[in-house]
Amino acid sequence: MYPRTFALAAFALGIAACATSVDDTDGSDPDSGGVVDTDGSADGGSDATYGGHDSSLADGASNADSANTADGFPPPGDASAHLDSAASPDSASHDASSADTGSTGPCAFTGAIATFTLTSQAGDEASASVSSSATGVTVAPLTRSTGLTPVSGAGSINSSGWPTTTPADPGKYYTFTVTPPTGCTLTLTTLALDVKASGAGPATGDVATSADAFAEHTTSFAGTSTPNVTLSGATGTSPIEIRVYGYGATSAAGTFRILGTLTLSGSTS
């Protein structure tokens, strides 16, 4: 009797030992909580039951564990093994070690970089402050060069002393400077103007920037006009100065003003 009892007990222990030492070597069997992976690779399917994930099993970069979403908690081994991909983060939780990307940064902007509204100005003011500007962009006041003489003129910045010759005089212009946010590149594309010359004032105007040390001037426009001037090559990470020139006056007493609204457009990146 005793030998038979001993044999039955040994048989039962053998069954228990098999249940806890079966190798999952084919890479496709779902873990049941008591099976040990020995092949060192991820199961072909998702783990079927919560609590049965092996600590050595690495999740695929784009697959969330079914236990993580269905059972509401991360199974063992997932805390550091499952990294979010930028395009497919986990639906249930994000790993602290892998931040999701895709949001726009502080540099991403396209539109009006700076707008000056001159409707309340007297004309002979020393400068006019910017009315609005793109986030992070610094805009200096609109002023005239020292070679010009302030002249009153409602709703504008106005001056006399413009050259009677052509082309532009490098010392006679209206000017302002824009500075991009730190770490961003500024690109200027257009300058929308409303300009008016007196009868003896400049017949022509144009624009240049410090991006090329004012070497290249834009296509010219009439002294009285509302041009939308295209700016070429005006880009950089440093401040850019914009100058508006008038020339071809019939008398130094003639005036040339910017009135209404001046808008500089472009982008930061």
Its domain, for residue 34, covers: 2-81
Is 174 contained in some domain?
yes
**pLDDT, tens only, 131-173:** 999 999 999 999 999 999 999 999 999 999 999 999 999 999 9
Alpha carbons 103 and 151: distance in angstroms, whole number: 49
How many structural domains is the chain composed of? 2
Burial category of 94 from C-beta neighbours within 10 Å (exposed 0-12, middle 13-18, buried 19 and up): middle
**pLDDT, tens only, 12-47:** 444 344 444 444 444 444 444 444 445 555 445 444
Residues 204 and 121 in one domain: yes
Report which DSSP code applies to 148: S
175 CB-near residues (< 8 Å, 6+ apart)? 142, 143, 144, 145, 241, 242, 243, 244
**pLDDT, tens only, 84-105:** 444 334 443 444 343 333 335 6
Is 251 contained in some domain?
yes
Residues 115 and 72 in one domain: no
What CATH code is carried by the domain that includes residue 219?
Answer: 2.60.120
pLDDT score, position 106: 73
Bigger pLDDT: 42 vs 120: 120
Residues 74 and 116 in one domain: no
Is 58 contained in some domain?
yes
192 three-state secondary structure: strand
Is 103 contained in some domain?
no
253 CB-near residues (< 8 Å, 6+ apart)? 160, 200
Is 67 contained in some domain?
yes
Residues 66 and 142 in one domain: no
